[in-house]
A and B are shown apart, each in its own frame.
Chain A
Amino acid sequence: KAGVTQTPRYLIKTRGQQVTLSCSPISGHRSVSWYQQTPGQGLQFLFEYFSETQRNKGNFPGRFSGRQFSNSRSEMNVSTLELGDSALYLCASSLGAGSGGPETQYFGPGTRLLVL
């Protein structure tokens, strides 16, 4: 079974631009979560989608948004990029059946975004 895939793997943008990242979950998984990883803040939860609905959201500004399609693929968008948005963006998928249960999240390799 194919793992979680993320595209693109690397991205360079300039301040003020916007960017869209894509995540394809493991087949059969309906939940997709997004995380930002930086050296200073570590791994921080952005949001989670299940069946095309956002179920949970972290403490990020409204410039960060996401969506999920009927095939469970997800995209996240960052508008008006800032230097501090440079990070590794990871998505993770899971079956999504439970709420806070012990369901394992499987991570993709990430998209490394550099904002100049």
Chain B
Amino acid sequence: GDSVTQMEGPVTLSEEAFLTINCTYTATGYPSLFWYVQYPGEGLQLLLKATKADDKGSNKGFEATYRKETTSFHLEKGSVQVSDSAVYFCALKSGGTSYGKLTFGQGTILTVHP
């Protein structure tokens, strides 16, 4: 079945540091890939997405490239801010009859210190 594996957290960085959160997946066919972010006490917000191989999703300085050859969708940001502290989830949606089902990774807690 489908699965998503994220790098173990938590990740602690200083402001303006470079961020990478690794995400790899297993899926049949050609899934769509997503990064969601969850701030304390809130639901999930879509950060970015990519729908086919070599697509790059980007938003708010975050980027991720859909790499089919390595089945990866790593999240990067060149300079993090304290306000980026949150939990980040990588997710996929397979084709076929998956309909509204997202498969999530376990989440990575990011803490950014001033």
The interface of chain A, by Cβ under 8 A from chain B, is 4, 31-33, 35, 42-43, 45, 48, 50, 55-56, 58, 90, 92, 94, 96, 99-110
16 sample A-B contacts, Cβ–Cβ < 8 Å, listed by A number:
A33-B102, A48-B100, A48-B101, A50-B100, A55-B99, A92-B102, A94-B100, A99-B95, A99-B96, A100-B32, A100-B97, A104-B34, A107-B43, A107-B45, A109-B42, A110-B42
Residue of B nearest to A48 (CB): B100
By the criterion CB–CB under 8 Å, are B99 and A50 in contact?
A: yes
Chief secondary structure at chain B's binding surface: loop
Task: List residues of chain B with CB within 8 A of the CB of A56.
Answer: 97-101
Residue of A nearest to B97 (CB): A99
Q: Report Cα–Cα, A4/B100, bound state, in Å.
A: 15
Q: Report Cα–Cα, A99/B97, bound state, in Å.
A: 6
Q: A90-B43, A109-B43 are in contact. Are A102 and B100 (CB under 8 A)?
A: no
B104 at the interface (CB under 8 A from A): yes
Q: Which of B29, B31, B104 has the most CB of A within 10 A?
A: B104
When A and B form their complex, which 10 residue pairs have the shortest distance between CB atoms, in order from nearest? A48-B100, A100-B95, A33-B100, A102-B51, A102-B32, A107-B43, A43-B104, A100-B98, A107-B44, A55-B99
Chain B's nearest CB lies how many Å from the CB of A113?
A: 15
Chain B's nearest CB lies how many Å from the CB of A4?
A: 8
B103 at the interface (CB under 8 A from A): yes
Chain A's nearest CB lies how many Å from the CB of B59?
A: 12
By the criterion CB–CB under 8 Å, are A45 and B102 in contact?
A: yes
By the criterion CB–CB under 8 Å, are B44 and A31 in contact?
A: no
Task: List residues of chain B with CB within 8 A of the CB of A45.
Answer: 101-103
Q: Mark B81-99, 1 if CB is under 8 A from A, else 0.
A: 0000000010101111111
By the criterion CB–CB under 8 Å, are B96 and A100 in contact?
A: yes
Q: A42-B107, A43-B89 are in contact. Are A99 and B99 (CB under 8 A)?
A: yes
By the criterion CB–CB under 8 Å, are A58 and B89 in contact?
A: no
By the criterion CB–CB under 8 Å, are B98 and A99 in contact?
A: yes
Task: List residues of chain B with CB within 8 A of the CB of A33.
Answer: 100-102
B17 at the interface (CB under 8 A from A): no
